Structure 1
């Protein structure tokens, strides 16, 4: 707790039999052969920190944290130390309390702090959320309770738990900004280059590392960690689609059929040959934009354009199902926003491992398909619902091939007045970041999505998982549409894989830009320069706004209560310069 401030605990319970997730938990426990839960009870936990009066705490419980018709609440002050329970007690009721790990985005807690201030309670400084489970069964012991918690109740990547009472751990950022690191690639042999790629999780092979080495040796200077990380994101499979662009040799064991003979022996880029070239050969007049922007654009009628974007979010969903699917939907929605359109519908195709597969049949470190499916479905519906965007269709498929890595295929459809999208920044335009603050969540997301998964993936890639906040994105959408209609920007893109390095880099590719990251809004202090530049924290858009429109844009952001940061300007010298003061 900061500065000796008090920490308070709220417990919110459903009246009567309990919540629907209790029956879902009982069914999952039975299906996995763990046994029969005689009873189960879940309680929502909220922790608030600050110099708060009893009447303020009662207001929070009554108007923010509970529904007086369906729920009851209690609050009390807690000490710095959690009151740990003991699962060795003879009582057959076992207690599990779960909270987010420090640094993992807690969107409900963030909204709680904001809403409290709107209610006139400014002294609520920080908040956290959790859940308490009270489980009763004769077969529950230390081993079985731990297994049940890991398989069905919590995700060890983002959650921490206690078998008894838990207290939240709030992240305490470093006050000092870590310095920029430099590497002398010229003195590194092949093993050292590969070690550097592995240690920094760059997902670059030896050929790629040697290409980087050769360039910086020719420049007669060391490479900074900012440059190294930026190149790795840009060259990642996720961003550049190396497999789709590679030459593929077709080897046939027998004489090909007439149909097979039509295919060449060597295919120069599957993407160019069978997708891009085919689209260009058809030359449909209603295709207005394809393969060059955040989403494809087609004409709907004389007044409206439709935009489409689909994208997979498999690796993130495999290790954190809710967050992975949630930000998968959020990402395609932002892609639609990135072509100046209003998102109107979400779609999905979801593929999981068999729901009745035994834990022994799963690869080491893999979440059970039941936990994955439940989290993914909840994540998909959560993001669209909170933004007011319906999921209009979808499909679900179960197959053993998806036991280790699900397929989470998200899509979004947008609508915009015909020809309204502008995507040409001009020299002198301000570089504006709109929406969410920057944090360590999503660090190296592009390279993580390009790596081979194994049993250690969840342990080493925790920071690569993004946590979405659809409320912030809804605010950013409202600002963006109003700014579009008022003609306030010359270009816009979303901040996705590679973070600002990708978004600003793409927008400035023909002009150049000068960026100062010192004023960028962050979730906590102490981020290294490369983390500021590469973070894939969600709900961020980048706009090119002429100086004469900055005031009007600022007024829009005030109206919709959405933050923005002016981090630099586009230039005309073809160079991208990034600094942190």
Structure 2
């Protein structure tokens, strides 16, 4: 017999209901819900794995604060004319509130296997029409990560996992004609273009077999714009500078770029690209001997520069210097933030931290730069298929700050740009500074027989498609179909990695390290050496039931691949 599922609701007392007041303001100001007269907000907890006595004890020690909260078992009181809407995360999405609550309950009660499931409950007062309720649902529920929760208490919180099927070959792939390939590309929602798919088909025709689903998805990830930067590699056949105040500056910059091409010996027949323009400055500085302080290694997850650091005694007097590595990294999360703003912005700063962290550096400073259209316009003015600018702006700010605050990172600069052009796609940029003593960092080549250890968070379905999703055009269907492309960050888990890598004994054991970004095991482990044997059955999972493709390409925000 399975343990009983217990339920409670937590609502703030009068004077502490800032969340309910904020929601009411948004409903009136942005959604223009005319008949709404009030909003209540409650957190719902379903708990399994505790005795009733322990559950009651945990109610006011974990789930609620008796000074500020009201607790209701197992239902909350509703007045006549109130309408309740419960919203929960999709199965497989990381729920930090539930995770933290289950860990605390296990510690408090000394119990193993405590499971918690949460939901956010909104209660609306007023004679709301069906149309107004539909508008509220559409605003509060982002189908990328959430759904409307059932009112009934479940009999069990245990997730049943079926045994995953073996990965089959894609029957008939090599026999498809041109029209068939185009339809295949559309149905599979691949990020690669038609030319890539035709190239792939020709390769497997020569191999006299069809590709497996895993091979197709791994290559789609490798060849995505996110990983291969195909847009930046596009040939610029003609560059025209429009009239305007920056015309002379831009023309001078283009002339300088042409001079640098000549100095670097780039053949004139090679097309110019944005990637070349972005990289040629660093290359020419190295050629001139002006960048000898830049670290050059196979680990290229962050820009790394050698600097002397002063050592001071307790009185503040310099007693010597020590050589350190100063690292810079920035990351944009435009697409993820566009479709799920809280998680997209949180993992923007989380991903930026992870890159220099993989280089064994301690991240100590950050910057946030964003671009949005006018967030004060009514929700009804939003572009079809896109989230309202007000929701994007508010939730992205909350996601970035939540991750930074939990990991303990100072953000010394925040700059927000507002322009109509950002209605097409939001800009979300996070940049960090990090440092590490040179003596604490090893940079060595992996050798045959070396073991790759995965350290950090587990793999789940919520990390599938991050690279390919960021590489696709945003359409009216993007928000509906991108559910697994944006992860919820777990800053506490990344904080543990920071502390581990700061330990000199741990750092001294690492020969090479790569962070788990988009593409998961296939990319993070695959980049460590020219050839590897990877046992996907050994990959740590958040839950059972993942097949080989999911294990191979699912992103894990807070994880490192260590040799």
TM normalised by structure 2 equals 0.87
Name stretches of at least 5 consecutive residues in structure 2 with no aligned partner: 259-267, 309-321
Deviation for aligned residue 1:231? 0.9
Deviation for aligned residue 1:273? 2.8
1:285 to 284, 292, 316: 292
513 and 378 in structure 1: CA distance in 2 versus 1, 3 angstrom threshold: same
1:362 to 367, 382, 391: 382
- Paired with 1:359 and 1:166, the residues of 2 have a C-alpha distance of 33
Deviation for aligned residue 1:419? 5.6
- Paired with 2:71 and 2:93, the residues of 1 have a C-alpha distance of 26
What are the residue-to-residue correspondences of 1:230-309 with 2, within 5 Å? 230-250=218-238, 252=240, 259=252, 262=255, 268-283=271-286, 284-289=291-296, 293-301=300-308, 302-309=322-329
1:520 to 530, 539, 542: 539
- Paired with 1:126 and 1:269, the residues of 2 have a C-alpha distance of 56
- Paired with 1:280 and 1:484, the residues of 2 have a C-alpha distance of 35
Identify the residue that residue 482 of structure 1 maps to in structure 2: 503
When the two chains are superposed, the root-mean-square deviation of aligned CA atoms in Å is 2.8
Comparing 167-176 with 65-74, greater Cα deviation is found at: 167-176
1:506 to 514, 527, 535: 527
What are the residue-to-residue correspondences of 1:152-551 with 2, within 5 Å? 153-161=140-148, 172-183=159-170, 184-250=172-238, 252=240, 259=252, 262=255, 268-283=271-286, 284-289=291-296, 293-301=300-308, 302-418=322-438, 420-423=440-443, 424-482=445-503, 486-509=507-530, 512-544=531-563
Greater percentage in strand? 1
Deviation for aligned residue 1:216? 2.0
Asked if 1:98 is matched to 2:87, the reply is yes
Deviation for aligned residue 1:111? 2.1
8 Å CA contact retained: 1:440, 1:537: no
403 and 34 in structure 1: CA distance in 2 versus 1, 3 angstrom threshold: farther
Q: Secondary structure at the match of 2:514?
A: strand
Give the number of aligned pairs: 528
- Paired with 2:19 and 2:479, the residues of 1 have a C-alpha distance of 26
Q: Secondary structure at the match of 2:497?
A: helix
Deviation for aligned residue 1:413? 1.5
- Paired with 1:121 and 1:390, the residues of 2 have a C-alpha distance of 36
8 Å CA contact retained: 1:299, 1:305: yes
Asked if 1:65 is matched to 2:63, the reply is yes
8 Å CA contact retained: 2:84, 2:121: yes
Identify the residue that residue 573 of structure 1 maps to in structure 2: none
309 and 251 in structure 1: CA distance in 2 versus 1, 3 angstrom threshold: closer
Name stretches of at least 5 consecutive residues in structure 1 with no aligned partner: 545-581
8 Å CA contact retained: 2:520, 2:556: yes
- Paired with 1:254 and 1:275, the residues of 2 have a C-alpha distance of 21
8 Å CA contact retained: 1:201, 1:447: no
- Paired with 1:339 and 1:306, the residues of 2 have a C-alpha distance of 11
167 and 369 in structure 1: CA distance in 2 versus 1, 3 angstrom threshold: farther
168 and 363 in structure 1: CA distance in 2 versus 1, 3 angstrom threshold: farther
Deviation for aligned residue 1:329? 1.4
- Paired with 2:378 and 2:155, the residues of 1 have a C-alpha distance of 33
Comparing 342-351 with 492-501, greater Cα deviation is found at: 342-351
8 Å CA contact retained: 1:202, 1:233: no
367 and 168 in structure 1: CA distance in 2 versus 1, 3 angstrom threshold: farther
- Paired with 1:420 and 1:185, the residues of 2 have a C-alpha distance of 50
Comparing 450-459 with 297-306, greater Cα deviation is found at: 297-306
4 and 64 in structure 1: CA distance in 2 versus 1, 3 angstrom threshold: same
Comparing 454-463 with 419-428, greater Cα deviation is found at: 419-428
- Paired with 1:540 and 1:93, the residues of 2 have a C-alpha distance of 45
- Paired with 1:310 and 1:202, the residues of 2 have a C-alpha distance of 27
TM normalised by structure 1 equals 0.84
